[in-house]
Amino acid sequence: MCKRLAGMLLAAVMLISFKTAYGEEYPVDVSGMKAAVLCSLDGQGIIEYNSAERLEVGGLGRLPLLLAVCDKIDGGGLALTDKVAVSREAARAPGSTAFLEAYENAEVSMLLKAAVVICAGDAIYALSEAAYGSMEACAMAAAEKLNGMGIQAESGEIASGSVRLSADDLVRIGGKLSESECFSLYSGIFYDAIQHEDGRTTELASSNRLIKSCVGTNGVATGSSAGAGYCGVFSAKRGGGVFICAVIGAENSSERAAKAKAMLEYAFAAYDIRTVAKQGERIAAVEVKNGTASVAELTAREGAVCLLPKNAELQSDKDIPDMLEAPVSKDDVLGSVTYSLDGAQIARVELVSPVDIPRAGIVNYAGRILCEWLHA
């Protein structure tokens, strides 16, 4: 529906020279890092800097498993109220922890909260087993999901947490997680706690500083590793716009948060999510020859919502016949309108009639003559 703003957006994100499309200095210096920002509306990237290089990204390597778990919960295969018996393997899982003990019973909602808020390795492991029967099966589902998104990953690497991901990969995974209903229940939490069945309490403190410092932030996760430094993927929503940002290679958590916030603020300041056509919106009217109606209303077959630079002025070009010959079917594409910016096509909307217009018969013509005579 909306195509990439190819040349224009490529110019807009020439971060090697740290310039925007309009010549002003780009506000964030991400040299030495890997960074990406995309709009979750259509997966369109607006910032890409060394974003294809894959590295082991610490706790963020557990996000594919969490995505597969959320898919299962959202699809009704696992209920938030279900009870899970934590296995010994889950209790020993590496990484940040919810301090689960082997054989304790925990509600899915409790485990999911820990998984989302602190990316707890033990909680994600327990959920993976509950959702798919085993860690290996969950890893296979996660690999299939990633491969379907164009991210090449092996199930064995996902299961072990050694999967290598790029900034491009992380923003796409983060975008899918931000769309998950169950993930969104807990993704905006900065501090909370869970209660174990034996009465213990585990505090959950998110390391995502943007939840408190950047308006609209609702996830996703942070991590770190010796090879990739401090990493994070962040989601922020304001109005109808959602942007996902990934940073790899920050020197510390403060730099990670500062760079991510600056890139998200830039995205919201520089771009708009604009509806250029609504489904069913009347675009034009065309005369119909030999039909039961003399005029066909042409409406948008589908809506079109696009990511555009602020204050951009779109041009529209209608391709509509001068006259239609009955019969006209509401399933027929009768014309189109193309929206472009600086000569580049942004969207093309097909036009249809909202109703069938049969060919007129003798009775129809007689009725028209009678009406004209009565109103003469």
List, for residues 210-235, the tens digit of each pLDDT value: 999 999 999 999 999 999 999 999 99
Q: Whole-model pTM?
A: 0.83
For residue 70, the model assigns a pLDDT of 98
Side-chain half-sphere CA neighbours of 371 within 13 A: 6
Question: CB-based contacts of 125: which residues, under 8 Å, 6+ apart?
Answer: 65, 87, 89, 90, 93, 135
List, for residues 151-207, the tens digit of each pLDDT value. Answer: 999 999 999 989 999 999 999 999 999 999 999 999 999 999 999 999 999 999 999
Residues of the chain with pLDDT > 70: what percent? 89
Torsion of CA 244, 247, 253, 258, to 10 degrees: -70
Query: Which range (61-65, 254-258, 326-330) has the least confidence?
Result: 326-330
For residue 187, the model assigns a pLDDT of 97
CA distances from 297 to 50, 320, 325, 328, 350 (A): 49, 12, 14, 11, 13
Query: Which range (19-33, 60-74, 248-262) has the least confidence?
Result: 19-33
